[in-house]
Structure formats: C-alpha cells, structure tokens
Structure 1
C-alpha cells in the first residue's frame, strides 16, 4: 500500500515543478491600451472605414512594440463635424484626423490640442480642392457663376466651404450673388448633385472628384485651389509617452497598402503655423456672407 502512495507523491512533485517552470518561461501578459480614433464622414462611412482601417492596424502594431502594451484602436465615425470637434476637444477621442478648418475650430475650444503630424502629399503639405460643373455645362469661368446655384459641403469644411467661398469672393461673387446655395454635408454628395444637374456648380476635394468621375459621374473641373493637408491631432490629456509613440509611428509609416488606402505617401512634421492661411480664410468668410 505504501508503494502506490509514494508514486502519487512523486507524480505530484513533478507536476508542481513543471507548473512552476511553465510560469517562469511564459512571458507576462501585456497591459492593454485602448485608444479611440475620431473622424467625421466626408464620404460614406463604409468608405471611411476602408480608408483608415489598414493604417490604424499598422499603428496598433507599431505602438504595441514601442509602448510594450497591447494597443487596440477603435474608429469612432461621427455623422457631423461638430460632434467630432467636440469629442476631441473634450477628450472622448484620443486622437483624430481633421480637415484644417475643423482643427482650428477644435483648437478654439481647447487650446491644448496638439498636432501629432500632418499628411504628406508627394512630400508636400498641400493638395487640391476643386470647383466642378456638369460635364455639358456652358460655364467656363468662375465669374459666370453669378446668378447660378452652388453646392457646398459641410458648413465646417475647409474645401467645401471656407476656401471655396473665398475663391468665389476673389472673383466678385458673394452669397447674395448666387440664385441659391446649400450645404450638402459630404464631398461625394456635392459631386453627385452637380452631376445630376441639381446645382450648377459645387466644391469638393480632388480625390473624391476623381473617384466620382471613375464611376461615371458627368462632372468636370471649372477651377482648382490649394489646401493644406490634414493634421492628425490629439487631445490635451493624452500622456506624453503615448503622444511621442504616435508621432514616431506616423512619421515612420512606410506600409504601401495602408498609405495607398489613405491616398497619401506618408506623414510630415507639422505645426499650428502651417494652418495660418486657413485661419485667415475663415476670418475673411464674413465678407462672402455679406456680414461686413
């Protein structure tokens, strides 16, 4: 009877030793860090996810390695610019990608908002916005838009409102000179509305214009104008280590597929002064609206 008992004791000791060895050899579980990435709908929400998810996946990998934490990034797509601005200003989004005007408006609500990096367009900090008309439209100049209808994007949009309205003003057209105008919210909605002849002209970003034309939307460029590329920003309460890791990750991104989905070639260092021209166009907007 004693022999089986001794065997059982020995087996128990071996099992205990193996358990301890496994505990020593297994790496400790990484702490989890969850971040929320904020963006608003300039195009269809499904297109927005397809545009950003590949890059965010790459960011998760880089941040996990750098911070030694298991980093997960959730996309929060808001239906309005205002909601996205409020989320980043109040810290409900950890970082975000905004247009220049939305960044300036968010900065007005929270001065501590910081730029992580700004998007590179073939090594430059600028890209094109366009004013389009129907492909068969007889309109050939901006001056001919007087007494015509115009589709703008969102009321907080850099291209869809501020820069487009400043360009119209430079060509002698105020809002009172248009027979009608409306804010349609999204760049693709503007292009589609002009293509369907519901408006004589409209303002949208060049990338969306190209996508619509490729799908058969009958629109052409009447005029183009420069805009500053979009900043990626973070709220004031984010830890310095996470901010630095985000900046390092963005500036070192070389994943071709992820960047292609975003439609950019990488990221550049940026500062608030890069957006001075946009800030000035917003100040000039009162003249277009006839409030001066």
Structure 2
C-alpha cells in the first residue's frame, strides 16, 4: 500500500512540475515581447517638443557653433523654468544666407538670428514672421560696417576706388552687400566703374582676400575688421547699420513665442552675454519700423547696378 501511495504521490508531483516548467517556459518566451511593448509605450508617451534655431555662416562654422551653442543652452534652461513641456532647442547652421532664408520663409526652422537685410527679405516673402527682440551693443541699436583697404594702399576716399577691384560678402548681406553698395553709389561708384567685384560669402573671407592683395577693397562688419586690423588693414569708410533681430516664424505657438521673448528680454547677466558676443549688452523690444533704415539703404543700393545685366546677375540667387 505504501508503495502504491508513493507512486501516486510521485506521479502527482511530476505532473505539477511539468505544468510549472511549461508556465516558466511560456513566461520566459513572452517576457522580451512584453518588455519591448512596455518600452515602446513609455517612449511613445514621452513627446518632448523641439524648437529649431537657424543661423547662416557669417563666420567659420566652428566659430558659429562655439558662439551659439552656450547661448541656446541658456535659453533652453530658462524656458524650462518658466513653462511645462519645455522644448529642446536644436541648432541648425546653414552654409549660405540663401539657404537659411529659404528654410525660415518655408517654416522649416522656428526662430533665427538674422542680419537686418535678411529679416527685411524674410518679412517681404512671408509677412507672418514675428520679431522677438533686437540686440543691443553696449546699449546701442546701431553698429558700424567698414569699407576696408590694405594699410599700405594710397586710397584716401571711396571715389578713388574707380577702376579698382572690390570684395563683397554674401549677396543677401546687409553690410557685405546692400549698405556698402549704397555707400559706393553715394560716392559716384557703380558696378561698371569697378574693374571687377565678387561676392565671397563670409566676412572673414572678404577681410582675408583684401589683406592678401586679391582685391583692392572690401566690406565687412566692424568686429571682423577689428580682429584682422593689426595684420595690415585700415578703414577707408565706416557706415551705420541696425543691430541684428531675433525672429520667430509665424506658426510658432504663442506659449513658445512669449517664453522665448521673455527670456531674451530678461537676459542681463554679463557672463552669459559675453559668451555670445563681447559687445552684446542685452536685448530690447522692437518694431518692424526699426528696419526702415535698412530698407532705405537697400533701395539706394539698386543704383549700384547701371544696367539690367548686372542687376540680373546679382539677383540670380535671391530667394
């Protein structure tokens, strides 16, 4: 009888163990799928908004990255302290003014830091773009563009550039094209009066080309000129320009627009500002009319082209 009961018990225990083994195997085989499903559901539930900041290369791309990345990180952190679901900010550096303009006009980036002429063009192409703030340099909303020559040259005025070569910046640059061409027009110099002229893109390329004797004169922003002045350059003529605007696309959410604007207008810490620009003292509210000065300069610059062929060539790549 004992042997009979033992056999029954052993059979029962074996059956239980077999069932447990099947359950364990089933659980083990399903666990990865369950884990993957849970991970996917968690990832899907985390939807962090993103704002893309666009800028064109007025200087070397590496310099642009070093200049903008800390500032954007600061803006991102400040926004996170102000609103829920704060966005991450991504930096997009475009190789040309034209590419940055097209991307912004087509709502491919959320906010930008543009030169005044690029803003004027963007506003003309897409009236919905909105000004966030204007930069102030040492408390001022104006700064200088420079028409520069080599230190050992004999040029004493713009009129003496007749028959000489000239290096402009980008074809959409405020200083590198529009306002410098307006200055030449006022001095009686047009495109056909120059021996040659070219658009070199970045300000540093213009300065280097003049410094190395490839062109007799060129136009660049004051900060770039100052960086290379001691290497053998001098100022032939300076002229006013309005400081740069920060601009948002029309489709940006009102919450993000207000948050961005408040952060910019509230940025007063010199240590933060200095990492971006030595001359930047802060940001101020501004209206579109602030850039009428530039619109007038762009209009005057049209006189630089003495015939339709020159003008057509200059406007070939304008967006």
TM norm. shorter chain > 0.5:
yes
Residue 87 (1) aligns with residue 69 (2): no
SS for the counterpart of 1:185 is coil
Superposition pairs of residues 55-204 of structure 1, within 5 angstroms:
55-204=71-220
Q: Residues 190 and 202 of structure 1 are in contact (CA less than 8 Å); yes or no, is this contact kept in structure 2?
A: yes
Corresponding residue for 2:271?
257
Measured against aligned partners, the alpha-carbon deviations of 1:87-120 in whole angstroms (never above 9, x if no partner) come to: 1111110000000110111112111001000100
SS for the counterpart of 1:67 is coil
The alignment's TM-score, normalised by the length of structure 2, stands at: 0.79
Corresponding residue for 2:6?
none
Q: Residues 110 and 252 of structure 2 are in contact (CA less than 8 Å); yes or no, is this contact kept in structure 1?
A: yes
Corresponding residue for 2:237?
223
Give RMSD over aligned pairs. 1.5
CA shift, 1:34, in A, is 1.2
In the superposition, relative to structure 1, how do residues 174 and 253 fare at CA in structure 2: closer, same or farther (>3 Å)? same
Residue 288 (1) aligns with residue 304 (2): yes
**Whole-Å Cα distance in 1 between the matches of residues 162 and 156 of structure 2?**
12
Residue 239 (1) aligns with residue 253 (2): yes
Q: Residues 45 and 77 of structure 1 are in contact (CA less than 8 Å); yes or no, is this contact kept in structure 2?
A: yes
CA shift, 1:142, in A, is 1.1
CA shift, 1:168, in A, is 0.7
**Whole-Å Cα distance in 2 between the matches of residues 88 and 282 of structure 1?**
21
Corresponding residue for 2:288?
272
Task: Identify which range, 280-289 or 74-83, moves more after superposition.
Answer: 280-289
CA shift, 1:262, in A, is 2.5
**Whole-Å Cα distance in 1 between the matches of residues 296 and 65 of structure 2?**
32
**Whole-Å Cα distance in 2 between the matches of residues 98 and 197 of structure 1?**
30
The number of residues matched between the two structures is 262
The alignment's TM-score, normalised by the length of structure 1, stands at: 0.86
Bigger Rg, structure 1 or 2: 2
CA shift, 1:37, in A, is 0.4
Q: Residues 185 and 300 of structure 2 are in contact (CA less than 8 Å); yes or no, is this contact kept in structure 1?
A: no
Unaligned segments of structure 1, at least 5 residues: 1-28
**Whole-Å Cα distance in 2 between the matches of residues 104 and 281 of structure 1?**
11
Measured against aligned partners, the alpha-carbon deviations of 1:238-272 in whole angstroms (never above 9, x if no partner) come to: 01111011110000012323311322111011111
CA shift, 1:52, in A, is 1.1
SS for the counterpart of 1:118 is strand
SS for the counterpart of 2:68 is helix
